[in-house]
A and B are shown apart, each in its own frame.
Chain A
Amino acid sequence: GNSVTQMEGPVTLSEEAFLTINCTYTATGYPSLFWYVQYPGEGLQLLLKATKADDKGSNKGFEATYRKETTSFHLEKGSVQVSDSAVYFCALSRLGETGGSYIPTFGRGTSLIVHP
């Protein structure tokens, strides 16, 4: 079936460090891929997306490239800030069983903690 696998957290970094959060997916066809972020006490919000192979999604200094050959969509940021502390979810969009709509499927989430 369709699924995403994320690296286990928490990831703990110092401010200005380089961030990578790994995500690999299993899917039939070519799903759209997403990263969502959840700040404490809030719901998930879209961070970036990519809809086809070799697309790069980017937002707020974060970026991820859709790699079909490795079925990956790793999240990276060159210099993290304390305010980036949150839980990050990788997701893919799959067609539902009845074909009625596309359903985002989420990974377990990876907690990022950034220290000053």
Chain B
Amino acid sequence: EPEVTQTPSHQVTQMGQEVILRCVPISNHLYFYWYRQILGQKVEFLVSFYNNEISEKSEIFDDQFSVERPDGSNFTLKIRSTKLEDSAMYFCASSRDGIPNSPLHFGNGTRLTVT
């Protein structure tokens, strides 16, 4: 069964540095998402992406964050000038379409640790 893959599985960075989290969504899926989960807290929506542009974003997704689909397979989340509070598990997800009952397929996540 096709799956969403994320790299790296764990990223450690120093405060103020930039990180890029990478994802390869399922190939015939059209909608892509980033969520994050701070330890012990709920899974929070960051951004959705469709047709090479952002379709929705949360208030968390400010100018520090950006997403890109640089080629036909990768979907990246860039975090500029990382802060301690950016430490979290970041999940990429994709869905075949954006209809209400269409489930998301998640990757295994990237654990970001900012020191």
Contacts and interface: CB of A to CB of B under 8 A. Distances in A.
Given A32-B100, A106-B42, A109-B42, A100 B108 contact: no
Given A32-B100, A43-B108, A45-B106, A97 B41 contact: no
Interface string B89-115: 001010000111111111111000000
A95 B99 CA distance: 9
Contact of A101 (B35, B50, B106): B50
Nearest to B40: A108
A93 to B, nearest CB: 5
Interface centre among A31, A51, A102, A105 (most CB of B within 10 A): A102
A69 B72 CA distance: 45
A89 interface: yes
- Interface size of B as a range: 20 to 34
Given A41-B108, A44-B106, A102 B43 contact: no
B56 interface: yes
A19 B44 CA distance: 26
Nearest to B104: A104
B48 A100 contact: yes
A101 B48 contact: yes
A97 B57 CA distance: 9
Contacts of B98: 100-102
Interface in A21-37: 31-32, 34, 36
A61 interface: no
B65 interface: no
Interface of B: 4, 6, 31, 33, 35, 41-45, 48, 50, 55-56, 91, 93, 98-109
Given A43-B108, A101-B56, 12 more contacts: A41-B108, A44-B106, A45-B105, A49-B101, A93-B102, A95-B100, A96-B55, A98-B56, A100-B48, A101-B48, A103-B48, A105-B45
Interface of A: 31-32, 34, 36, 41-46, 49, 51, 89, 93, 95-98, 100-109
What are the 9 tightest A-B residue pairs by CB atom distance, in nearest-first order? A100-B55, A43-B106, A96-B56, A101-B98, A106-B43, A46-B103, A108-B42, A32-B101, A51-B101
